[in-house]
Amino acid sequence: MIARRSLLAAGAAALAAPALAQSSAPWPIRTVRLIVPWPPGGSTDILARMVAEQLQQKLGQSFVLENRPGAGGNIGADALAKAAPDGYTMGPLTLGAWHINQFLYSRLPYDPQRDFQPISMHWELPNVVVVSAQHNPATTLAAFIDWAKAQRNGASFGSPGVGTTAHLSGAMFTSRLGIDGTHVPFRGAAQIIPAMLSGDLNFAIDNLASYIPVIQEGRMRALAVTGAERWATLPNVPTMAEAGVPDFVVTSWCAMAFPMGVPAPVLDRAATAMREIGQDPAMQERFLRAGAKCVWSTPAEVTARVARERPMWQEVVRISGAKLD
């Protein structure tokens, strides 16, 4: 009987061994899905693809992007929040998911403090005031302000959605300067840019990374950046303060996240990979050319930044009067 029990135990151990080995194997052992809450072609998508390439090289598995746009990023953020916390679903979350949308929407399908586990900061960038080079005569921000005030029907500005930093920046800009501004929400920069180039939209104050190519091609004119300093690859473009609009510093940032509850070894390995990417001079140069700063942080530093900035964005949303159900 003892021998039989020993044989049974040995057989059970042998059957369990592959599963045990798999569960203790270093993450990742299969394809990782990156949910991007914005459409292809925008800054979040472009910069996520750059990081996905590097994660794939460093960790030896495929990192496949899945674009889930809509509702100001809420559709993709909700999909990430409800994914299994096994390390095989992650995604880049911008300010909307981390804190703006909770003040904008009466109800969210996710809780930003409860449902997301930060991994690391991903990028940071200013917004840029842009106009169509073909359809707008302004070559300076002051000239554009004069032009916009003179329009009988006001000036229209686009954004990737209500409550995004582009929307809030445009609302703050038009309100402060006494411009009759009309906000036109789109799904992302890939739709805003054609509308501007066709003359159907007057301007945008949107994430710089999405507009670098059309600015460099000369199809759009950059009038000012919303950072505290000039942008390195656009040295001739002034800051808002230099262009005559003081106290207008707005930066967007993004942090990579898992659903809450991932195992600590998985989080540590992902955070280490993000740190290596963020410290790589070649990646820093690639991001800069694309219109963003490649940055990294600890998970705890992301949490602290969200807590620090939440009251500020709550107030900006209140001033804008934006509200969605």
What string of DSSP letters covers 225-254? Answer: E-SSS--TT-TTSPBTTTTT--S---EEEE
Each residue's pLDDT tens digit, 232-286: 999 999 999 999 999 999 888 999 999 999 999 999 999 999 999 999 999 999 9
Give bridge partners of residue 155 from the DSSP assignment.
181
Confidence category of residue 162, pLDDT binned at 50, 70, 90: confident
Reference 148, options 184, 169, 173, 167; nearest CA is: 173
Alpha-carbon span 242 to 306, nearest angstrom: 29
State the pLDDT at residue 239.
98
Which amino acid belongs to residue 182?
T
All domains in the chain, ordered by first residue: 29-123+253-320 (3.40.190.150), 126-225 (3.40.190.10)
- What tokens appear for 8 in the block? 């049974």
Crossing angle of helices 141-149 and 165-177, in 10° steps, is: 70
Q: Which residue has the higher pLDDT, 24 or 227?
A: 227
The whole-number pLDDT of residue 68 equals 95
Is residue 9's pLDDT more than 70? no
- Averaged pLDDT of the chain: 90
CA pair distance 201, 156, nearest whole angstrom? 6
The number of CA neighbours under 13 Å toward the Cβ of 111 is 4
Residue 20 has pLDDT above 70, yes or no: no
pLDDT attached to residue 106 = 87
SS3 content of the chain, % helix, strand, coil (to 5): 45, 20, 35
Residue 307: half-sphere exposure toward Cβ, Cα within 13 Å: 9
Least confident of 4-18, 90-104, 118-132, 199-213: 4-18
155-184 average pLDDT score = 92
Nearest by Cα to 253 from 118, 70, 111: 118
Q: What is the DSSP letter of 138?
A: -
- The H or E element containing residue 140 is none
Whether the per-residue pLDDT at 316 is higher than 90: the answer is no
Residue 24 confidence (pLDDT): 53
9 burial class (0-12, 13-18, 19+ CB within 10 angstroms)?
A: exposed
Which tokens in the block code for residue 61?
């598995």
Q: Mean pLDDT across the stretch 312-316?
A: 85
The pLDDT, as a whole number, for residue 25 is 64
Residue 323, pLDDT score: 85
| Pairwise CA distance, residues 76 & 66, whole Å | 9
Average pLDDT over residues 6-17: 44
* pLDDT one-digit tens code per residue, 290-304: 889 999 999 999 999
- Cβ contact 220:211 at 8 Å: yes
43 pLDDT band, cuts 50/70/90, is confident
How far is it, in rounded angstroms, from Cα 84 to Cα 9? 32
pTM of the model: 0.78
Torsion sign across C-alpha atoms 177, 182, 187, 192: negative
